[in-house]
A and B are shown apart, each in its own frame.
Chain A
Amino acid sequence: MRQEKSYSFRLRPQHPKGGKRRLSSKLRSIQVTITLTFTSVAVLVAVVVSLMLYNKFAKTAEENANMNMQQIIEQVNYNLELYVKGMRNIFETAEDQITNSPSVDSSLLMERMAMLMGSREDLVSAAVFTPQGKYVVGTAGQKLRSNTQLETQSWFTSAKKTSEISYSAPHIQNLFKGQYIWVVSISKLIQYKENGELKTGILLMDFNFRTIDELSKQVKLGKRGYAYILDQLGNIVYHPQQQLIYAGLKYENVEPVLEYAYRSYLDESTGEKRFITVRTLEQTGWKIVGVAYYDEIVTTKRDLNNFLSWFLAVVILCVIIVSVFLSARIARPIRKLERTLQQVGEGDLNTRIDVSGAYEVEQLSKRFNLMLQRIRQLMDQIIYEQETKRKGELEVLQSQINPHFLYNTLNSVIRLAERGKTEEVITMIQSLSKFFRISLSKGNNMITVQEELDHIRHYLVIQSFRFKNKFRYEIVAQDEVLQCQTIKLILQPIVENALYHGIEMMPDEGFISIRAELKDDLVIIRIIDNGLGMSNETMKVILTGGSKSMNGSGVGVRNVNERIELYYGREYGLSFESEIEEGTTVTLIFPALAKVEDNEGLKEDETSA
């Protein structure tokens, strides 16, 4: 059952609103933390994965591109090989015909040569010269130029040196009128018959670049890649940008190419990364050089780039969205919990949390509700206990200011005064005064055992006058116990009880012994009388309440027991031992606590009294 009460207290100071602290606390919030952590972990993973993928794919792409390029160049090499073989075949056919013809200027030979010339588009001219450089015969329709300097030309000199077929570097054909054409010349020393005489001469055949051009044009190495052909000496036989090379506007790094017959490497001499692949033709010693631009041929790499960039962007966006939602979902009940807690902190104990969400949060709110309920119970209990304590004390106090007691006491005083017993009167009044001072003791609940014993002593003094030496008493206390704390006014009701119920009715002289001692950190006070004693039933009734003494102050021993229990706990309190006609021993047990210093204490009381 819930009690609707309003509690007002504060568990902690409120947060100052606004300002930097608010921002930073927002950044430290669980939502931001989750979002950031989640995002950064996901981004890191995505980046690492994509970098690894990129490297892997890029490497594969590079290898593929390289292989692809090598295959293309191999193909060109093969085609060129065929082409050179074709040139060689033509040349050998021509050589055969000239050698086997009875005379070089026979019309049959001229006819055959013309046929040969017509069979190929790339064949520009064919002619025979003497080793001295004199023109012997040539294909029809070609007039020789003057000042040709043919003796110095490479095809002429190299043909004279060996009996093998020699291939010249590209050069201008300047022998015949009409055109200046770039050609490659094939030349060889041959035997020919002139007027029945066997002579040695040089056969020259010039080929233009049409076929080579066509062969090379087919090479597609990316958008800007190309292939070019070098001769053994490093002269460029063919280059797609031959004119630019010749004009000195372009440059090709041929030195590393010349070193090997068969290789692939990466060249950066032009400032750009380029794949170079070299293959060498067997017959001519020409080298085919494939040039591919690294960043271009590896287009996959760039595609991959774009893809991965987009991929990363999308992943990061998704991760951010998901983590924002997720963290909001996680953080919402927690924030609600926090708000409720704040409300509780501000003193509203009547709130209830109904938070659904994660299991833990749900449990937390349930537990919190239970805790809140318990807090309310405890607070109710405390209030009840406090009220009871106050009431008990008030009752004791009221009992002391009992008019009957005062009347009796004052009567005794008057009687003593009448008898002129001044000494006793003074003792009496003094005791009464001290008795009341200690009773009040400035509203403190706790006093020392010393004071409590003084209090009871004064009481006994007063009562001994009243009962006219009907009893004797002793108060024995260990020194250690004197400074211990005790609840005030716990002895009086018991002594009163002993006097009124135990001793008053007995015929003999009574004796009350009060003994206080410290044992195992417990204060034990025994009130022993040799009075009438009581039955077990009475003892039970005394502690459970109900019995009120007829002559006493009306405050039961129960009150004392209750107060001890409230202050110190249920295990402490009163116990009785009694035997009819023998007497009663009441034992008070409560923990020994040192005197609290802050009390202004009795000194001040003394001055104010």
Chain B
Amino acid sequence: MKNVRFWLTLLICAVLWTTVTSCFNSAPNYINTNKTRNIHLIVKMNRGDYWNTVKLGAEAAAQEFNVKLTFKAPDSESDITEQVKMVQESIKEKADVIILAASSYMGLAQVVDQAAYSKIPVISVDAEVGSARVRTYIGSNGYEAGQKSAERLIKLLKGYGEVGIINFTSSTQSEKQESSNGIEYGARDAEEREKGFLNYTARYPNIQVVEISYTTSSIKEAEELTQLMLLKHPKLRGIASLNETASQGAAMAIQSRGLKNIKMVAFDSSPSMMELLQDGAVQATVIQNPFNNGYLAVKHAVEVIEGINVPERVDTGTKIIDLDNMLWPENQKLLFPFVR
């Protein structure tokens, strides 16, 4: 009897203690920001408004989640070896997470596997990489973006005419031919966009894609390629460009020649592209969500460290912007980063 009372007292004490302590210390339900995380963000290129906006987004998240962000990018989108070197460096520096926008789908695959082997999670942003070890992909759907571009261009051309594409690549023209042995060395997003575009135009017999030019990563080269294309195809009615540098180059070629009858659908939303849109040199542009890409990549990176489940794929979406809708409040917010 007394024995029972004794254990009962003990039990009551224990219960009391746990209730008291549990009401004193409840776990916070937000991401723990007490520890500084080392996250490396490696993108395709260290120039251009697009990558700046990605960086801006990443920095916003870094500030919010107490992340020490190391930003790395080669001078050119085609410098695969430099990017591989940067990933290797990050592995050596024992980054907590590596966020990678791969210049080449296959070219970066091996080094990503290496990172995974060293227990460093890899998140890919904007462009995918050919490794199964990638934790999540954050970016837009390239194929869909290509289709959107084609759809708008065909509408602008009223359904007929010759069309040229200015795309981008990670390898020079000669390399491209050499590496046609089945291995994809290009950037995934470039290929997807092109595929989407071509598949969509294939439904329109009156639309002929007469030439696809590939620029590495210079506006100058893109402008020259566009000039060349315009010379080669005098009947050309429309141009689609599939990334920011290609778009700026192509638009400059059109503007400098004062060609009013050539319709153009560009890609991405740099302020200069907006200016071109407002000036009427470009009719529409397919925009992605670079700020969100950067922000979400860092946020999910922190979640990966915290052990929180992250979605396998985050589609940040694409949108067609033209003169009419560029000043809609919701699009203003998308197009122009809020810089103080």
Contacts and interface: CB of A to CB of B under 8 A. Distances in A.
B181 interface: no
Interface in B325-340: 327, 329, 332-340
Most interface-central of A43, A169, A174, A295 (chain B CB within 10 A): A174
A146 B279 contact: yes
A145 B295 CA distance: 32
Contacts of B172: none
A244 B327 contact: no
Contact of B29 (A169, A209, A272): A272
A244 B13 contact: no
A177 B20 CA distance: 64
A537 B205 CA distance: 167
A507 to B, nearest CB: 86
Interface stretch (A11-19, A75-83, A188-196, A305-313): A305-313
26 contacts: A27-B3, A27-B6, A40-B13, A43-B13, A51-B20, A54-B24, A146-B280, A147-B280, A148-B278, A171-B329, A172-B332, A172-B335, A174-B327, A177-B275, A180-B335, A182-B336, A182-B339, A213-B340, A241-B64, A242-B338, A243-B57, A247-B57, A247-B295, A248-B292, A249-B292, A305-B25
Interface in B255-309: 271, 274-275, 278-280, 289, 291-292, 295-296
Given A24-B3, A246-B334, A247-B295, A309 B21 contact: yes
Contact of A305 (B24, B29, B278): B24
Interface residue tally on B, bucketed by range: 35 or more
Contact of B2 (A27, A40, A169, A177): A27
A149 B60 contact: no
A446 interface: no
Contacts of A312: 20
A141 interface: no
A213 B338 CA distance: 12
Nearest to B25: A305
B80 to A, nearest CB: 30
B28 A179 contact: no
B28 A295 contact: yes
Given A51-B20, A146-B279, A272-B30, A249 B336 contact: no
Interface in A46-89: 47, 50-51, 54
Interface of A: 24, 27-28, 32, 36, 40, 43-44, 47, 50-51, 54, 145-149, 152-153, 169, 171-172, 174, 177, 179-180, 182, 208-210, 213, 235, 241-244, 246-249, 271-272, 295, 305, 308-309, 312
B249 to A, nearest CB: 21
B270 to A, nearest CB: 10
B220 to A, nearest CB: 23
Contacts of A54: 24
Given A36-B9, A147-B278, A309 B327 contact: no
A241 B3 contact: no
A153 B327 contact: yes
A59 to B, nearest CB: 15
Interface in B21-76: 21, 24-25, 28-30, 56-57, 60, 64
A405 B258 CA distance: 174
B16 interface: yes
A145 B13 CA distance: 77
A209 B340 contact: yes
Interchain residue pairs A-B with the least CB separation, the first 7? A246-B333, A305-B24, A243-B338, A242-B338, A172-B332, A180-B336, A213-B340
B125 to A, nearest CB: 15
Nearest to B274: A180
B56 A247 contact: no
Contacts of B334: 246-247
Given A36-B6, A246-B338, A247-B334, A147 B323 contact: yes
Contacts of B336: 172, 180, 182
Contacts of A248: 292
Nearest to A213: B340
A244 B28 contact: no
Contacts of A152: 327
